[in-house]
A and B are shown apart, each in its own frame.
Chain A
Amino acid sequence: MTTTLTEAPPPVASTAQQRTPPRARGRLTPYWLLLPGVLWLLVFFLMPMVYQASTSVQTGSLEEGYQVTWHFATYWDALSEYWPQFVRSVLYAGSATVLCLLLGYPLAYLIAFRAGRWRTLVLILVIAPFFTSFLIRTLAWKTILADGGPVVGALNTLHVLDVTSWLGMTAGDRVLATPLAVVCGLTYNFLPFMILPLYTSLERIDGRLHEAAGDLYATPFTTFRKVTLPLSMPGVVSGTLLTFIPASGDYINADLLGSTDTRMIGNVIQTQFLRILDYPTAAALSFLLMAAILLVVTLYIRKSGTEDLV
């Protein structure tokens, strides 16, 4: 992000493409370079996953300790008890992702093609909210969406709340402590993660392609549909993943802006782990979430044919 803001593209970029394959300098050099970082990830990322998998099939109690008993019923119990939270997580994170795409695309387009000399400033304004702790900003939504406040009043006057109530997104003339507030918070929190990849892929589009489409009598909409949108697909794919993945595991928005009826799977994992201390159930839920996300990511990447996400 900062790279795109503060420096010009390296003058050697064009020659770098035709460079020779990396030369062998000492055969062991890459391994020494990799060793500490990879070891760190193995011990503190991969090994915990194994521990978690093993914890999920243990039985016992805090006082007497836990033993691995291959008690797979924990998974079944966890799923049958907490499936509403799972469904809710997918629904909320999915709605937030769609909203982020709808809201973020125009802004990314604006920055890439219309901002002119304001481009850097608008980009800074997109990144700037990051610098205020996101918890403080999420709490600000409590003020914005407060009962009887101007936003809720306006939504009421426009009868928007009647529609959302009918959809089950709000209750009565309240927005706080409803699904709408949670989705609104999720959308807000992960919007920059959608805008930045979109902007990166839009910015790469050669402006002459738009001119060519116009010369061939394409309307602006056709140009968008046939030229801009297909070329920005890598940004759409990584943007939706970068939004959906963290949103599906989030429990901050559901906790601060929602109620007990809006609890997501992240809330359950957090409570089970840190308050109820039922480690096997928590580990099983966390493992299920991980499996679901990996499945979604793999299918999505394969379907969209984008391999170069990293």
Chain B
Amino acid sequence: MTGKEIRSRVGGTLLTLLGVSVVVFIVLRALPGDAITAKLGTESGVLDHAQRQALEHYYGIDQPLLAQYFGWLRAVLSGNLGVSADSGQSVTSMLAAALPVTVELAVLATLLGAPAGVFLGVLAAARPGRPRDIGVQGAALLGLAIPEFVLGSVLVAVLASAFGYFPNAGAFVPLTESVSANLGQMIYPAAVLAVAFAAIVMRTTRSAYLEMARADFVRTAQGKGLAPSRVRLRHVLHNAGIPILTIIGIQFGYLLGGTVIVEQIFALPGVGRLLLNAILNHDYAVVQSTVLVIAAIFVLVNLVVDLLYRVLDPRVRIS
């Protein structure tokens, strides 16, 4: 990357993050209700004027909207993500607890789903139109069609009924505390997420593989007498890598954005639950800062994927 490219990339990233922060701020304020009605519900009608004013001051919603936005932005630029009006905890500490859970879940789901998807995609594309291809495509369709909440709920119910086991019975154990206990809690939700992940990767792999398999250089390689397995792996799959890598990157980014349903079913204290609760409670600082961090990570993942393109395809490097 040249210096100009880096500057352009950093500038674009900052503009993206600024845009995200503005959109999130506006959308949050456009929602009906506020932190007080979210907290008290119909009981908020019992508050007299002075009590309401005191609460508005407490939640920081007595300030003009512009002052609220720039106050938050100033704090973020100085490294302070704000304080949750709901719990009084710093958003940084809340994210520090929730983000590793979601990142680990996304990584595990990717580790399980991506190889499986690539393998199944190649398996299907190697015999297009044959029973194996139809079977794999059918399985992938099923994997996409079954909602995660169904798969997760069934898995939890079967584990409890058949094995007397509930994965998240105990307090959440971080990876740094105990690898086996942590993986015992994380493997099932990761497996649930991996099903749809693998299905999407499989479909992309299959179509990219089939497209490459028809390319002239593949025919040339076959004509030169290379072993079929070498042609498939080194020539076809290698050159089909970019769309596969792209879809893996995008899916990984989505997983980092929070996997609310799976986190709910398996009681994982990740970013999805953090964000959902914050939205329900109109906890503005938590929502704004969390979305900003997720957006930043998403941009970072995209950057890594772009860099990997250069590894996979020398033409990208040269251009």
Q: Do A and B bind each other?
A: no
Query: What residues make up the interface of A, taking CB atoms closer than 8 Å to B?
Result: none
